[in-house]
Amino acid sequence: MTGERPPARTTDPVAVRRGMFGATGSGDTSGYGGLRRSSTLPTSTPRPYGEWFDDAIDTLTAVLADSGLAPSEVIEDVVVDRGGLTLHVQRAHLPLLARVLRDVERLRFEMCLGVSGVHYPDDAGRELHAVYPLLSITHNRRLLLDVAAPDDDPHIPSVTTIYPTNDWHERETYDFFGIVFDGHPSLTRIEMPDDWEGHPQRKDYPLGGIPVEYKGARIPPPDERRSYN
């Protein structure tokens, strides 16, 4: 992982979805070929955030300051959307923030429920995202951590030393999205064969028409899978 930060978050659309499923390069059999829809991410939320969110951010700010870090060096953005709290985190500081969230008594997010990959091909410099749902059993609270990395440097620090149960989750996200979790004890594919080329849940992965290794089958392109009279 390089020391460079991904570009700042933008309020511009991160993608324009065409058709019902967003497929390109093949015939449209959905009947929604003319559909166009912009995809945007929730923007920064001004204070007060409401509920327990303000106290949590104040606690994080104080702990980070004691560590000699300005909050803006660690947390890019605070977003409250649909009643949930999301922290957009600088990837280099993800392990530090995760440890603080786990260990500080006023926070105590003891559980990380995995990691999900997201691919925004049009979000220049921030194409890959890893999203971590955290749960505080002590306080009965949940929040999300969102960490971005560019396609040409898809590295994010592993959190397995802090949340060991993320071992297989990070392997799955690597397998399907190509995010490299630095420091993982054994970052290998977990679902696809070891010699599989590409990462099947990325938006730029072909939908069909590629040879399949199992039973010598072939998946036809979407426009060849059915026909109309």
Q: What is the CATH number of the domain that holds 52?
A: 3.30.460.80
Domain for residue 56, yes or no?
A: yes
Residues contacting residue 180 through CB under 8 Å, at least 6 positions apart: 1, 154, 155, 156, 174, 187
Is residue 204 packed enough to be buried (19+ CB in 10 Å), middle (13-18) or exposed (0-12)?
A: exposed
Domain for residue 103, yes or no?
A: yes
User: What pLDDT was estimated at residue 122?
Assistant: 83
Domain for residue 7, yes or no?
A: no
Alpha-carbon distance 213 to 219, whole Å?
11
DSSP state of 132: E
Domain for residue 178, yes or no?
A: yes
Domain count within the chain = 1
Computed from CA positions of residues 104, 154, 210, 120, in that sequence, does the dihedral angle turn out positive or negative?
A: positive
Domain for residue 31, yes or no?
A: no
Is residue 191 packed enough to be buried (19+ CB in 10 Å), middle (13-18) or exposed (0-12)?
A: exposed
Where in the sequence is the domain holding 153, given as residue range(s)?
42-193
Domain for residue 159, yes or no?
A: yes
pTM of the model: 0.80
Domain for residue 200, yes or no?
A: no
Alpha-carbon distance 19 to 32, whole Å?
5
User: What pLDDT was estimated at residue 42?
Assistant: 79
CA 172 to chain centre: 12
User: What pLDDT was estimated at residue 113?
Assistant: 97
pLDDT per 10-residue tile (average), the chain, 229 residues: 62 67 59 72 88 96 92 93 94 96 97 96 91 98 97 97 97 98 95 90 76 59 61
User: What pLDDT was estimated at residue 21?
Assistant: 61
Domain for residue 33, yes or no?
A: no
